[in-house]
Amino acid sequence: MRIVFIAPPRFNDGRFVEAEDCCSGLTTTRVLPAMLLACASEAKRAGHDVAFVDLAIDSPSALRGFEIAIYSLEWLSYAEIYQALSQVCLDIPQIVIAAPPGHADDYAQLSPVPFCVVYSEPEKVVASLPLGVAGLPGWRTEEARGVIWYDGNILHHKEYLPTCLHELGPVDYSLVPTHYWPHYTTIIYQATRGCPYHCKFCAWGGSTITDTTFRMRPAAQVTRDIEQICKFVGTAKGRPALYILCAQLTTNQSWLEDFSAAMAMVGYPFVSNVNLREVTDEKLTLLREAGAHMISAGLENSSDALLAMLAKPYTFDEALAGIRIIGRSGIPFSLHVRSGFGETAEEVRASIQGLRQIAALNSNNIKMNLGPLIYQPGTVLERDAIHSLTRHPDYQNACYWWAEAPHEAWLEYACEMVQLRLSSRRNLRGYPAFFRQAFSKRLQDG
């Protein structure tokens, strides 16, 4: 079967679509996708005639002659993306990959109705496609697992597949047309799927609709795939930034040792994630030697009560110990801090006190990313929410957060962070203004 894997066109405001396993949104930089290319690689190994077309680079005429189109939808702008792609795909059956999987039901009911939506282990699902178009209807209704389709009356769900990332073959980067490579600012590579920790808000470990088992691609394969990327982008300055998508690279010591030894020979700097409970001086040294030039960690909060509410795998003191270890490693890092999940005024004050303890470390390599917690469909947090939620004002599609305004203490802290005069607090009323002001500011600015 002739299958085209499509990266969506650029939005009218100049932004590009990022639609990965758990990371989705619109970005100002052109991104080479990870999951979509992994799906294309598995389909090619299964015997299909496969092509990758980026409609932010190529024209829709590149889609001619294909029998089926496959692409990912990201959940904040899925209706707009789908409208654009369904117009250029015309009569080509469309298979949609749900990113994250919690929105698959919404995607399946779009108009015109897609052939089906893949919400579980898309690489393996795509590899199971029949070789001929004539077999497609039977594949959807009888054989394929991990898909949803809508018949105009009801949604049909097939059970999800077990996590399979560790079983996949290499990503075939020769599928990327040669003239595409100079356009990409960022390259995403997915090294893990699932998570060993089941934080309630997470689209991976805290999912209620997918297999949450944590799997890592073999370290040797990750390195070989990145070597293949190097072959196409070269070694000159200005090559695309590499983001290794993962729950964390610090879970398996022996994996990290193998990865560090191999990546030291490749010499491609990268950004990735770590877990604050897992970090040690030795692991940070291995990451630095592997090429990590920026890392991030999901602190999420600095109140023990709120960390427990989110099912985070550590206390604040344990997280602070990890922050100290990363601080002395010299690797720049960012901490993700979230609020807006029913916290009391007392819990907010405890959170702020913890953030001030972090600031007191006086480490020059710390940044903090402060924002609201989003209740993603398909997560435990969204399923078990006991307080009222409201739509996020910045997005047209299903994006919900806590309906209450932030506590006064958060507003005062936001003023500290961005060095605003307290008389400007009227500009910070409500979540939208507060988080627009506070987002991604340096912790030391307070």
Grade residue 419 by pLDDT with cuts at 50, 70 and 90. low
Contacts of 297 (CB under 8 A, 6+ apart): 273, 274, 275, 276, 279, 322, 323, 326, 333, 334, 335, 336
pLDDT one-digit tens code per residue, 219-244: 999 999 999 999 999 876 789 999 99
**Is residue 175 packed enough to be buried (19+ CB in 10 Å), middle (13-18) or exposed (0-12)?**
middle
* Token output for 405: 């305004």
Taking 3-state DSSP, the helix, strand and coil percentages for the chain, each rounded to the nearest 5, stand at: 40, 20, 40
pLDDT confidence band for 396 (50 / 70 / 90) = low
Domain ranges of the chain: 2-157
pLDDT at 85 over 90: yes
By C-alpha distance, which of 36, 109, 22, 102 is closest to 69? 36
CATH of 2-157, one of 3.40.1000, 2.30.30, 3.30.70, 3.40.50: 3.40.50
- Which of 97, 99, 105, 107 lies closest to 74 in space, CA to CA? 99
Helix (H) or strand (E) holding 361: none
Could you tell me the CA-to-CA distances from 400 to 5, 112, 189, 370, 375 in Å, in that order?
A: 30, 26, 28, 17, 5
Of 289, 291, 205, 208, nearest to 248 (Cα)? 205
Question: From the CB of residue 327, how many other CB atoms can be counted at a distance below 10 Å?
Answer: 18
Q: What percent of the chain has pLDDT above 70?
A: 90
- Beta carbons within 10 angstroms of residue 214's beta carbon: 22
In whole angstroms, give the CA distance from residue 96 to residue 117.
Answer: 5
Which residues 6+ apart lie within 8 Å of 198 measured at CB?
205, 206, 212, 311, 380
Is the separation of the CB atoms in 348 and 339 below 8 Å?
yes
Which residues on adjacent β-strands are paired with residue 292? 270
Tell whether the model's pLDDT for residue 426 goes beyond 80.
Answer: no
Lowest-pLDDT choice from 157-171, 312-326, 368-382, 384-398: 384-398
Average pLDDT, the chain: 88
Q: Is 301 helix (H, G, I), strand (E, B) or coil?
A: coil
Main-chain dihedrals φ then ψ at residue 101, nearest 5 degrees: -65, -20
Residue with tokens 């997918």: 210
What is d(CA 388, CA 404) in angstroms, rounded to the nearest whole number? 8
Angle value at C-alpha 374, between 373 and 379, nearest 5 degrees: 110
Task: Map tokens 């990750």 to a residue.
Answer: 222
Measured at the alpha carbon of residue 73, what is the angle toward residues 168 and 116, in degrees to the nearest 5?
Answer: 75
Helix (H) or strand (E) holding 100: none
Judge if pTM exceeds 0.85: yes
Task: Taking residues 148-158, report their average pLDDT.
Answer: 94
Which amino acid is it at 437?
Answer: Q
Q: Which of 119-128, 391-400, 422-431 has the lowest mean pLDDT?
A: 422-431
**CA 309, 310, 312, 317 torsion: positive or negative?**
negative
Helices (H), 234-383: 253-266, 281-290, 304-309, 316-329, 345-359, 380-383
Does residue 439 surpass a pLDDT of 60? no
pLDDT, tens digit, 9 for 90 and up, residues 7-33: 999 988 889 999 999 888 888 999 999
- pLDDT score for 425: 42
CA distance 40 to 155: 26
Q: How far apart are CA 290 and CA 262, in angstroms?
A: 8
